[in-house]
Structure 1
Amino acid sequence: MAYDFQVVIDTNDPHTLADWWADALGWRVEPQDESFIRAMIEKGYATDDDTTTHRGAVVWKAGAAIRHPDGLERAPRVLFQQVPEPKTIKNRVHLDIRVGADNIESVVEKLTAKGATVLHRGRQGPNWWITIADPEGNELCIS
């Protein structure tokens, strides 16, 4: 039996990082239902401390998710999960963002203007890529 999955990225600021990655990938941040959140608080399943305000809306503090504009049938969901500690070592897993050889430099320029850091340039045969880190240091490759 095959299983579905989502990719989870640890972060100190899930909503800001979800916005960054949604922009980087051309994806959409999943909306959070403020009335549902308020109902969970009213019923005692959550407290106001479990929420924060992002872009003027009440959202769950612990996470934010993005998905491909064509839905989960096209690509798995990416969840940004709040953790207390900052990233300290190299990722053991990272995403490769395939933009096409003619677009690598312009995409990297766009992402560095939005807080990414260039880590290194790689090449294997005719293929090349640039490894960057998002604003919280999570690595990704642009190829």
Structure 2
Amino acid sequence: MTSFISHTTVDCANAYELSEWWKPVLGYTDVPGDPNLPGHEECMIVDPAGVRPRLLFIEVPDEKTVKNRIHLDLRPVEGTRDEELDRLLAHGATVVADHRGKYGPGTGWVVLADPAGNEFCILRSEAEVEATS
């Protein structure tokens, strides 16, 4: 017998605001027939195609104080890592650490934080990886 990941949960101070921030980052929507609304303490967002993992945002009283023990690694669906980085920065993400070129030209990733301070990484697109293999 085995298990599967139902969803990833993100603790936060405002579930609605953070779920709204993440929807355009991932191209996700609210659960059909169950919209997230201001004041909801739990907000789930889903991939409209139902292929990618769901994210659940839950309000907790604790503030984030240390590095995440688990985080999301994102790859651009289209375009390059750097184009996606520009889009995410314009959307309100902040750079935590820049590891581009860490393993040679055209390699690496950038660690970002969402408005609640949760870290996530932006990696090179699959096309970029294949072009340097």
TM-score higher than 0.5? yes
Question: Is the 8 Å Cα contact of residues 68 and 77 (structure 1) preserved in structure 2?
Answer: yes
8 Å Cα contact 1:66-1:79 kept in structure 2: yes
- Any stretches of 5+ residues in structure 2 without a counterpart? 124-133
State the alpha-carbon separation in 1 of the partners of residues 66 and 25 from structure 2: 23
Matches within 5 A, 1:93-104: 93-99=70-76, 102-104=79-81
Q: How much does 1:100 deviate? A: 6.7
Rg larger in structure: 1
Consecutive unaligned residues of structure 1, counting only runs of 5 or more, are 35-51
TM-score between the two structures when normalised by the length of structure 2: 0.77
| 1:22 partnered with 2:2 | no
Q: Is the 8 A contact 2:16 2:37 kept in 1?
A: no
Query: SS in structure 2 opposite 1:127?
Result: coil
Q: Cα gap change, 1:7/1:30 in structure 2, threshold over 3 Å: closer, same or farther?
A: same
**In structure 2, C-alpha distance between the alignment counterparts of 1:33 and 1:25, rounded to whole Å:** 19
- Higher RCO structure (Cα 8 Å, ≥6 apart): 1
Counterpart in 1 of 2:131? none
CA distance in structure 1 between the partners assigned to 2:49 and 2:2 by the alignment: 21
Aligned CA RMSD, in angstroms, stands at 2.4
Flag the structure with higher strand content.
Answer: 1
Q: Which amino acid aligns with 2:24?
A: D
100-109 or 115-124: which moved more? 100-109
One-letter identity of the residue aligned with 1:112:
L
Q: Is 2:110 the counterpart of 1:130?
A: yes
1:86-97 equivalences under 5 Å are 86-97=63-74
Identity of aligned residues (%): 36
